[in-house]
Chains A and B, each alone.
Chain A
Amino acid sequence: EVQLQQSGAELVKPGASVKLSCKTSGYTFSNYYMSWLKQMPGQNIEWIGNIYGGNGGTGYNQKFKGKATLTVDKSSSTAYMDLSSLTSEDSAVYFCARLGHYSLFDYWGQGVMVTVSS
């Protein structure tokens, strides 16, 4: 069974950084891309970027370049996303999602709430 387990909720101060994790199981991590997405409260979903589990190759939504940095650790089948210089606009739920056939988000993590507040 494919599973994506995300790290717990974060409360961070403005200007700080945070690193989110997405630990996977049930499939060959290095054969798939992982995506990260942002959902602000009551709002629509934004695609942040993709990273390939095999070699760490990335592709970003231009809007999130400089804000998000995606990495992987193949040895632990875990994907990470660093968010930097946090502001209130970064307060949201962040999801990791496996990119399956036809470039579809076929399995999702449970999401993690990031709250930016002093």
Chain B
Amino acid sequence: DIRMTQSPASLSASLGETVNIECLASEDIYSDLAWYQQKPGKSPQLLIYNANSLQNGVPSRFSGSGSGTQYSLKINSLQSEDVATYFCQQYNNYPWTFGGGTKLELK
């Protein structure tokens, strides 16, 4: 199975700040990488797919980048509604696997 390692596990940032979350795959996943946002008590929501494509309806302050085994999610100008846990997920190989999550809180 492909192991997805996210960092940091938790993050505290101020409103208006820029936040970066990293995701490292144990092997090349050829940009078959998605990012999901999960707010407390809710189901995950798709933010980014194919490493850098924004899902319809997702604010443009969210962006994704990366290739090979290294990927990142960037949130510009952090808003209060961005408080959530963020997961990366690879869909290049079965079984599809998720990172352990990054919990984002407000400072």
Binding site for B on A (CB under 8 A): 43-47, 59, 61-63, 95, 97, 102-106, 108-111
Asked whether B43 is an interface residue with its Cβ less than 8 Å from the other chain, the reply is yes
Residues of B within 8 A of A61 (CB): 94-96
Q: How far is the CB of A42 from chain B (nearest CB, A)?
A: 9
Which of A43, A59, A104, A111 sits near B46, CB closer than 8 Å? A104
B42 CB, min distance to chain A CBs, angstroms: 8
Q: Which one of B32, B43, B91 lies within 8 Å of A110 (CB-CB)? A: B43
Give Cα A108–Cα B45 distance, bound, in whole angstroms: 8
Tell whether, in the assembled complex, residue A95 and residue B49 are in contact, meaning their CB atoms are under 8 Å apart. Answer: no
Nearest-Cβ distance from residue A3 to partner chain B, whole angstroms: 12
Instruction: Enumerate B78-107 residues with CB–CB distance to A below 8 Å.
Output: 87, 89, 91, 94-101
| Distance to closest chain A CB from B81 (angstroms) | 18
B91 touches A102 (CB 8 A): yes
Complex contact B46–A45 (CB within 8 A)? no
Q: Is the interface of A mostly helix, strand, loop or mixed?
A: mixed
The 7 closest A-B pairs by CB, nearest first: A108-B43, A61-B95, A45-B98, A47-B96, A44-B100, A103-B91, A44-B98
Interface of B is mostly: loop
- Is B44 a contact of A46 with CB atoms below 8 Å? no
B62 CB within 8 Å of chain A: no
What is the distance, in angstroms, from A112's C-beta to the closest C-beta of chain B?
11
Q: Is B24 part of the contact surface with A, judged by Cβ < 8 Å?
A: no
Q: How far is the CA of A94 from the CA of B3 in the complex (A)?
A: 21
Complex CA distance for A36 and B7, rounded to whole angstroms: 26
How far is it, in angstroms, between the C-alpha of A102 and the C-alpha of B52 when the chains are bound?
13
Residue from B87, B95, B101 within 8 A of A63 (CB atoms): B95
Q: Verify if B34 is at the interface (C-beta below 8 Å from A).
A: yes
Kindly list chain A residues whose C-beta atoms are within 8 Å of the C-beta of B49.
102, 104
Query: Binary interface profile of B, 51-62, with partner A (CB < 8 Å = 1, else 0)?
Result: 000010000000
The answer to whether B46 and A105 have CB atoms under 8 Å apart is yes
- Apart from A47-B95, A111-B43, what 7 extra A-B contacts exist at CB < 8 Å? A45-B89, A47-B97, A102-B91, A104-B49, A105-B44, A105-B46, A108-B45
